[in-house]
Structure 1
């Protein structure tokens, strides 16, 4: 089949939505039992892994098997690493102040408000951002150099994300770092190596799907993720929180805000 199977892809869209919302609803039940809504951050990566696995399973007989397996493995590796990192980072801590502030505005029942504004919204975002992953399972023909370029970009992204998180965790664990701003390693090249890594990962996954023109319509996925990382709940909110820290203004003046560049003086 040389054409893109739009009918089967539409069924995949529905199944992927079911997988994303199922992960979020299960997480909501866990959050109610624990009394902590911060567990939804762990579900973010798990939701993408669930969508990738469901899409791989129901797309059997379509697309290129090598591309299907590659996009599934890469998405699951990214999602499970992120979920594990967030789970370890949050172990033993109370509620995230972000959710306390958000739910303080609840017009009625806090939990019902959280279900709508936090869990169902994140489920919808998982479905939307993952559109390239879903489409890649149905792209006909063998992978080209464009897909290989996407795989290379994914590797760069995972390197920045994983190494950046590791360096920050080691910095925070050192008592000598108390009261200081992390400005070493990748954090001297960009103030947000982990967010830049996410950016590369999702544009890389999009390129893997781009061996057929039909997959171009899924560009909304990496565009939404880029907006979230730069102007949404990522860089913008974190920098607003950090602005009052001693030394942060000087760090920001000499360090790139997002795309890496050699550290300034």
Structure 2
């Protein structure tokens, strides 16, 4: 538990330092970058300085988090530099209290995302060094597919928006023909799979309640900070078009044949 407290304290300390710097500079450009660097710091701090974190399972889990972080963090930072800002913060960054809340919520999101993996990284070698199981095979395989889905979705949408011929159009090609938000589907599945692989080492019933962590992320995406703002912008921009209404009726929001 000592490691857990140290790591979570570091998460919020980094966000609050980032908030102070961003407030003084009146910019949101390194918001996502700070979040990504926090993930990297926590993983490296755990792997390099924790004597108990030596099993293949702990290292593979850490590798998955790092691969996800570097890919998504690099993409988001490049995008915000290219676009000149992040419209999510157009109003928030003018109010230092709301801006502080946004940075603090990023700390909550990072902590929730990493908590199941931290429980794995805290395990002693005897507990963590389990034989590779079908559950591991399923979890890491689906994690890889979800990671690829999110990466491909981001690349396809970025290229679509860069094409002048697609100005004022919504994307409905590639993996975006599967569901309206394939990037968010990938993101949600990624963290559920990392919980699943970490749960192999859980030794007490309460540890399984950490499934609430990826569920918290899913709730954020589906009901608060992910899909709703995009859906609102879409309706404001194209809601009056019959073609857009037809598109909404034909494409599932998040999960094919379900939702």
Scaled to the shorter chain, the TM-score interval is 0.7 to 0.9
1:125 aligns with one of 109, 114, 121:
109
Displacement of 1:19 after TM fit?
2.7
Cross-structure match for 1:187:
176
TM-score with structure 2 setting the length: 0.86
Within 2, Cα distance between the matches of 1:256 and 1:121?
29
Cross-structure match for 2:215:
223
Cross-structure match for 2:30:
39
SS of the aligned residue for 1:120 comes to helix
2:190 aligns with one of 197, 201, 205:
201
Cross-structure match for 1:48:
39
Displacement of 1:235 after TM fit?
0.9
Aligned residues of 2:12 and 2:104 also touching (Cα < 8 A): yes
SS of the aligned residue for 2:165 comes to helix
Within 2, Cα distance between the matches of 1:38 and 1:249?
34
Aligned residues of 2:112 and 2:214 also touching (Cα < 8 A): no
Within 1, Cα distance between the matches of 2:80 and 2:45?
28
Cross-structure match for 2:139:
150
Aligned residues of 2:36 and 2:70 also touching (Cα < 8 A): yes
Within 2, Cα distance between the matches of 1:113 and 1:102?
6
Aligned residues of 1:190 and 1:256 also touching (Cα < 8 A): yes
Q: Which runs of 5+ in 1 are unaligned?
A: 1-9, 105-109
Bigger mean CA deviation after superposition, 246-255 or 76-85: 246-255
Within 1, Cα distance between the matches of 2:184 and 2:211?
19
Cross-structure match for 1:176:
165
Displacement of 1:241 after TM fit?
1.4
Within 2, Cα distance between the matches of 1:33 and 1:92?
22
Superposed counterparts of 1:1-265, under 5 Å: 10-32=1-23, 34-61=25-52, 65-103=55-93, 110-115=95-100, 117-139=101-123, 140=127, 141-142=129-130, 143-213=132-202, 214=204, 215-246=207-238, 247-260=243-256
CA deviation digits over 1:155-213, x for unaligned, max 9? 01111110000100111111111121100000000111111110111011111101133
Displacement of 1:145 after TM fit?
2.0
Bigger mean CA deviation after superposition, 238-247 or 50-59: 50-59
Aligned residues of 1:17 and 1:127 also touching (Cα < 8 A): yes
Within 1, Cα distance between the matches of 2:26 and 2:39?
24
SS of the aligned residue for 1:91 comes to helix
CA deviation digits over 1:17-41, x for unaligned, max 9? 1231233134224423542124212
CA deviation digits over 1:52-85, x for unaligned, max 9? 22232344225x6101110111101111111111
TM-score with structure 1 setting the length: 0.84
Question: What value does the CA root-mean-square deviation take over the aligned residues?
Answer: 2.2
Cross-structure match for 1:4:
none
Q: Which runs of 5+ in 2 are unaligned?
A: none
Displacement of 1:13 after TM fit?
1.5
